Chain A
């Protein structure tokens, strides 16, 4: 599947397209099919997102998992500072990235 990510313009937060808005959590990302670029252009023009791009992902164990390790790190946070990740309390979260 293809999903869409971007940064919030004012805060820089990493965000994922949910189908009708943006979420900070990759689990909320939806398959944009071939429409990713079109959605990105509209959202960036309206300043609801910045530097949006499409990436590959798959559903793994029932949840969205970006295909490349870079976007998994983007989704979670630095693997060397899991205390700063989006899920600091989850002890297995480092394995999800790698």
Chain B
């Protein structure tokens, strides 16, 4: 993975000093909260329902064991001994003191980490495919470009005060494991005439008005990606709405302007920008890519797995995915144990994962946008040892992409933007479907819960989505069906009137029963829904 050079380290150290100075000036009253707020947001520091919350960046979701250990240290030293992995591959801490924040950033900088631009009206963490570098179907590892763009977007002087937040995802496969089409800019690496470049989508997003990003350009060569993105951002910075916070994302601009006009303006801007010499040379991408060379895999390893332990076999069948190198496998670690909190991990669990990454996966791990962890290069011979350690630590749940693998935002338990609690609903659904056989029989079923319309739980992209609302001061839950954040991207449709907390769990169960009653061979929940439509579900839900 990428390692800082002297320039990267100097920049992040300067940023820590800058924030230390800004915090001191705020505490001394030289900055008002209105003046300080964007500055602290651009260092990932929110003021939330219970305390300050710090969102630490995990660039394109990749971490080393040493970095993971620092995240555990921060949880222990400065917070309440746990962290929460988010739907943008980051980690956040809920009980931070402003007075500690500069020291936390300094600790992060000591292991090449930061909280730069994880909030604010600027370009946020660039996300990617959790199987980057090991997926058989990828055109190239997308992470070198993601790292190049991370640097390009950090403290970009023209784009630090955009109309609203800006999220970019980079993948390199046709299969979309990063919800790329639901980002402000989504990039798919493709090959054209033997050359690798970027297919660019602009104007996707969730929130109040979910939209799927249309393709704006089918191919941009690597050497021009930066100037092309600058053109995309400049048109947005100049023309995005600033009168209404809920209409300020680029998806609204592309929609209101029309895709053709937006594309035309971008091409016009691009024509003049690509002559300015702002594109890094290909040598810079190659320098970064050298850090992502495949690890020193052992050759000739066995593909045998001893399945005699049935619990282990179940875990292998659900959590372990094929690897392009013989003898190796991809391990998914579930952070969704029944009775737990989706995406949360204690400092002890974080340390354990760091150990496993170092021992068994070439010291590298990934955070997924489904709030789980991936160890990308585990020898099949080591799988049983890894599983034993995970199981002992409460990390052995076998529910990947099943109904128990719920994506949930923190909701009203933690978030001042929320209208309803999301975590108790997730817990009740998990408890209802706890039986492993039942989950397996239901098969792939991506259930996503948001506690408010801002959709941080990605409920629009759930095969089953749940949206928490406030109905005359009481928590109420709307049910959506048929969404997908994968390459068959689709926005979920609302079923009808909402339900209370127990009602929504019953409603989910009824919806799964409709699926079971109607499914044809090989159909997932979302396939049956697409074939039979909403009516059979409505009939049962509102009988």
Contacts and interface: CB of A to CB of B under 8 A. Distances in A.
The answer to A–B direct touch (Cβ < 8 A) is: yes
A13 B99 CA distance: 12
B421 A10 contact: no
B97 A73 contact: no
A50 interface: yes
Interface in A56-98: 67-70, 73-74, 77-81, 84
Contacts of B424: 79-80
Contact of A50 (B47, B97, B416, B423): B47
13 contacts: A10-B27, A10-B98, A11-B97, A14-B51, A44-B33, A68-B473, A69-B473, A70-B49, A70-B412, A70-B418, A74-B49, A78-B50, A84-B95
Interface residues of A, number: 23
Given A10-B97, A10-B99, A12-B97, A77 B50 contact: yes
A80 B50 contact: no
B98 A78 contact: no
Contact of A11 (B80, B98, B341, B412): B98
A14 to B, nearest CB: 6
Nearest to B475: A69
A1 interface: no
B50 A9 contact: no
Interface residues of B, number: 27
B419 to A, nearest CB: 8
A7 B27 CA distance: 13
B47 A51 contact: yes
A11 B95 CA distance: 9
A13 B491 CA distance: 39
A50 B33 contact: yes
Given A69-B412, A78-B413, A11 B47 contact: no
A81 B26 CA distance: 31
Interface in B139-164: none
Contacts of B95: 12, 84
Interface string B400-439: 0000000000001110101001011001000000000000
A12 B47 contact: yes
Given A78-B413, A79-B424, A80-B341, A12 B80 contact: no
A68 B96 CA distance: 25
Contacts of A44: 33
Interface of A: 7, 9-14, 44, 47, 50-51, 67-70, 73-74, 77-81, 84
Interface string B82-105: 000000000000011111000000
Ranked nearest first, the 4 interchain pairs of A and B with the lowest CB-CB distance are A78-B413, A12-B51, A12-B52, A10-B99
B33 A7 contact: no
A74 B414 CA distance: 8
Nearest to A74: B49
Given A70-B416, A78-B413, A80-B424, A7 B47 contact: yes
Q: Which secondary structure dominates chain A's binding surface?
A: loop
A12 B358 CA distance: 36
Q: Which secondary structure dominates chain B's binding surface?
A: mixed
Given A14-B50, A80-B423, A73 B412 contact: yes
A21 to B, nearest CB: 19
A18 to B, nearest CB: 19
B349 to A, nearest CB: 15
B29 interface: yes
Nearest to B419: A70
Which of the listed residues B29, B49, B80, B97 has the most CB atoms from chain A within 10 Å of its own CB? B49
Nearest to B341: A80
B27 A9 contact: yes
A73 B26 CA distance: 28
Contacts of B27: 9-10, 47
Contacts of A84: 80, 95
Nearest to A13: B51
Contacts of B33: 44, 50-51
Nearest to B28: A47
Nearest to A10: B99
A51 B49 CA distance: 11
A69 to B, nearest CB: 7
A23 to B, nearest CB: 16
Which of the listed residues A13, A67, A81 has the most CB atoms from chain B within 10 Å of its own CB? A81
Contacts of A81: 341, 413
Contacts of A70: 49, 412, 416, 418
B376 to A, nearest CB: 31
A11 B413 contact: no
Contact of B49 (A11, A73, A80): A73
Nearest to A51: B47
Contacts of A73: 49, 412-413, 421
Which of the listed residues A12, A51, A74 has the most CB atoms from chain B within 10 Å of its own CB? A12
Given A69-B475, A73-B49, 20 more contacts: A7-B51, A9-B98, A11-B51, A11-B97, A11-B98, A11-B99, A12-B47, A12-B52, A14-B49, A51-B47, A67-B473, A73-B413, A73-B421, A74-B49, A74-B50, A77-B50, A78-B423, A80-B424, A81-B341, A84-B80
A7 B47 CA distance: 8
A67 B474 CA distance: 11
B420 to A, nearest CB: 9
A80 B413 contact: yes
Contacts of B414: 78
